Amino acid sequence: MCENISLWCSYQAILFKAEQHPVYPRFAILTAFNPRSIVLNNPDNLKRNELLKIELLSMTNGVQRVTTSAPDGSWQEIGFAADITVAEARQLACRWQQNAFYWVEQGELRLVPALMTDVAITKLGEIKDFFYTE
CA 100 to chain centre: 7
Query: Taking the chain, what is the end-to-end CA distance rounded to the nearest angstrom?
Result: 37
Give 3's pLDDT tier (boundaries 50, 70, 90): low
Question: Which residue in 1, 6, 18, 12 sits closest to 132, CA to CA?
Answer: 18
pTM of this prediction? 0.95
Give CA–CA dist 95/124, Å, rounded.
24
Grouping H, G, I as helix, E, B as strand and the rest as coil, residue 44 is: helix
Give CA–CA dist 22/26, Å, rounded.
9
Portion of the chain with pLDDT greater than 90, in percent: 89
Query: Amino acid letter at 110?
Result: R
